[in-house]
Amino acid sequence: MRLLTTVAALRCYLTKCRWENKLLYPDTPVLDEQTNWFKTSIGLVTTMGNLHQGHLSLIARARRDNLTVIVTIFVNPLQFGPHEDYQSYPRTWEADCLLCEQAGVDAIFAPTPENIGVPQQNSQEIPITQVIPPSAMIVGLCGRFRPGLFQGVATILTKLFNLVQPDRAYFGQKDGQQLAIIQRLVADLNLPIEIIACPTVREASGLALSSRNQYLTSIEKEQAAVLFTAMRVAEAAFRAGVRHSSELIALVQQRIFMVSHVCLEYIELVDPTTLMSLETIQEEGMLAIAARLGSTRLIDNIILRDRQPIIAIDGPAGAGKSTVARLVADRLGLIYLDTGSMYRAVTWLVLKEGMSIDDECAIAELVNQCKIELTQNPDLQHPVKVWIDNHDVTQDIRSLEVTSQVSAIAAQSAVRRALVKQQQNWGKRGGLVAEGRDIGTHVFPDAEIKIFLTASVSERARRRQSDFSRQGQPEVSLEELERDIAERDWKDSHRKVSPLQKAADAIEVQTDGMSISEVTAQIIDHYQQCLSRY
Ligand code: AMP
């Protein structure tokens, strides 16, 4: 792991590592043949140090997705007010380096304010160019109590984004207002960076991990857990049908007032993307809270989402994911998100428009303008009707011509990016079953139900052999099939980037000796148990 403290050293390091990544992986972003995810060169995790499991979860995610992971450690003077804890903010350089090393970070960039061109002191008259997010996003929530905070955050992040030029940058949902502002910043300034939101990591008590927790005594820590338990009360009410902001907020307040030392700064219900205040929740809302315990200020939030559940099924090749996913969707009346057919639909449109398959720019334009729809179809062979620009292409996308070109189209990163975004947009409404190799870890990390479907190598070889004989194909020996499958598994799970991994919150279904209908029944049973917990 490299430790870099100057902009000059960082630039030099980045040039070298981009060059090496290109040599090692000439096709980056390297596309996974079967999933919707593509690997990228550089992932960035920005922190103020004093690393804990929350930061480490971002780093672990970045490690999975990227060839190179860079962590920045910089206590940013621009985001501290004059009476805030800039000087006393916990700085634990050696422990941080060790944690980064253990987490497989490639380089830490830890500049001094001077080196990165930021004044040591925050003041009214900062002599540098600053980035000011839209005022509607910074006047509420934390912005009301910490003026200048998000201007400081946006300015330093723009500098770090420009310096590192990462493909992806990782941020915690814990800082929900910051996350929304960064997403807006990247969109407004057309920065070619994908912002990945990562779930909040909590202590067993529910208290969100934060560097500032170490200011708390053990009694205060216990008391601080009320922030989360109070939000859970509102969440339970929301699930029971309460939609009005005033009622939900009152529930949180009542619960918090029971703990005398917790002094509420704000509790608000806002749209998680625009941060506009909500009177009622239509689709989703962010319940955000800030409170003080003594002199320590804590923040937290939860997302209240009114959507049908998403079932994410991942697992190794040949485990029967697509058959099972179709059946589960059919039985539960959910939509089978047939991602393969989306790529086929785009291919069909490219061919219909007479575009060259190599014209990536034209295809990028097309894929961002076309409208794909998937609707339920009673025919179990084709359980999804596929529409593109109002044409029903369910049958046409199965043509030989489309089949022969679809992998070339799916290999284009602009196509992948647009379709994953589309899938995630549909995910907002929920009611989907999707399968692949990183649906639960990447495409829908907040899916309610995650299944890791697997089977032993010998079982998958047997299944493949009988598929071949059913299709009248020449016989391949079991040994040969087993060797192929084992090799593919090894490759899938040992790739430096996006290895096949079971999501931490997925349940594993080992399907050896089980029939398709038994597997389907087990998943449906799990789904029903999960729903009854809500
Ligand atoms: P900080 O060092 O506090 O500036 O945080 C750096 C990054 O870590 C930000 O993207 C935070 O949102 C994220 N982060 C901090 N605490 C947590 C947590 N408990 N869970 C997940 N992410 C977190």
Task: Determine contact, residues 418/367, Cβ cutoff 8 Å.
Answer: yes
Whether the CB of 208 sits within 6 Å of ligand 1: yes
Token pair in block for residue 176: 């929900």
| Banded model confidence at residue 534, pLDDT cuts 50, 70, 90 | low
Ligand 1 and 57: CB distance under 6 A:
yes
Strand partners, 66: 40
Question: φ and ψ at 452, to 5 degrees?
Answer: -110, 105
Question: Ligand 1 center to residue 115 CA distance, Å?
Answer: 24
pLDDT winner (highest mean) among 40-44, 192-196, 339-343, 486-490: 192-196
In this predicted structure, what is the pLDDT of residue 28? 54
Task: Say which DSSP state 119 is in.
Answer: -
CA distance 49 to 90: 8
Ligand 1 atom closest to 170 (CA) = 10
Mean pLDDT of 407-434: 88
What 368-376 contacts at long range (C-beta under 8 Å, 24+ apart), as own/partner pairs, is 368/414, 368/418, 370/346, 372/342, 372/345, 372/346, 372/419, 372/422, 374/335, 374/337, 374/338, 374/341, 374/342, 374/426, 375/335, 376/335
Dist. CA 507–CA 504, nearest whole Å: 8
Cβ(172) – ligand 1 distance below 6 Å: yes
- pLDDT score recorded for residue 27: 62
Find the radius of gyration of the CA atoms of the chain: 25
Mean pLDDT of all residues in 74-80: 94
| 298 close to ligand 1 (CB < 6 Angstrom) | no
Residues in the chain: 534
Asked if residue 48 has its Cβ within 6 Å of ligand 1, the reply is: yes
Of the ranges 26-40, 63-77, 87-101, which one carries the lowest mean pLDDT score?
A: 26-40
Buried b (16+ CB within 10 A) or exposed e, 391-407: eebbebbeeeebeebbe
pLDDT score at 20: 86
Q: Model confidence at 9, in pLDDT bands (50, 70, 90)?
A: very high
Token digits for 264?
Answer: 């509420």
Q: Is the pLDDT of residue 494 over 70?
A: no
pLDDT category, 31, cuts 50, 70, 90?
low
**Ligand 1 in contact with 209 (CB < 6 A)?**
yes
Is residue 175 predicted with pLDDT exceeding 60? yes
Q: Is the CB of 54 under 6 A from ligand 1?
A: yes
* Per-residue pLDDT at 33 exceeds 60: no
DSSP 521: H
**CA-nearest residue, atom 15 of ligand 1:** 54
pLDDT of residue 401: 92
What's the whole-number mean pLDDT along residues 13-20? 90
SS3 440: helix
Q: Average pLDDT of the chain?
A: 90
Query: Which residue owns the Cα nearest ligand 1 atom 13?
Result: 172
Reply yes or no on whether the pLDDT at 34 is more than 70: no
Q: Which two tokens stand for residue 275?
A: 């941060």
| Minimum CA distance residue for ligand 1 atom 22 | 172
| CA atoms of 464 and 456, how far apart (whole Å) | 12
CA of 526 to the centre of ligand 1 (A): 32
Cα–Cα distance list, 158 to 18, 100, 245 (Å): 20, 23, 34
Q: Identify the residue whose C-alpha is closest to ligand 1 atom 14.
A: 172
Give residue 412's pLDDT. Answer: 83
- pLDDT tens digit sequence for 226-235: 999 999 999 9
Tell me which residues are annotated as active site.
55
Q: Does the Cβ of 176 fall within 6 Å of ligand 1?
A: no
pTM: 0.84
Whether the predicted pLDDT of 285 surpasses 80: yes
Q: How far is the CA of 175 from the centre of ligand 1 (A)?
A: 7
Residue 319 alpha carbon to ligand 1 centre in Å = 36
Spatial contact of 69 and 169, defined as CB atoms under 8 Å apart: no
The pLDDT of residue 108: 98
Tens of pLDDT, residue by residue over 315-341, are: 887 888 889 999 999 899 898 998 888
Q: How far is the CA of 75 from the centre of ligand 1 (A)?
A: 13
Is residue 171 over pLDDT 50?
Answer: yes
* Mean per-residue pLDDT, 345-369: 95
Atom of ligand 1 nearest to the CA of 48: 2
Which of 99-103, 185-189, 439-443 has the weakest average pLDDT?
439-443
Minimal-distance CA residue to ligand 1 atom 17:
54
Closest CA to 104 of 58, 170, 171: 58
Query: What is the DSSP secondary-structure string of 209-275?
Result: P-GGGGGS-HHHHHHHTHHHHHHHHHHHHHHTT--BHHHHHHHHHHHHHTSTTEEEEEEEEE-TTT-
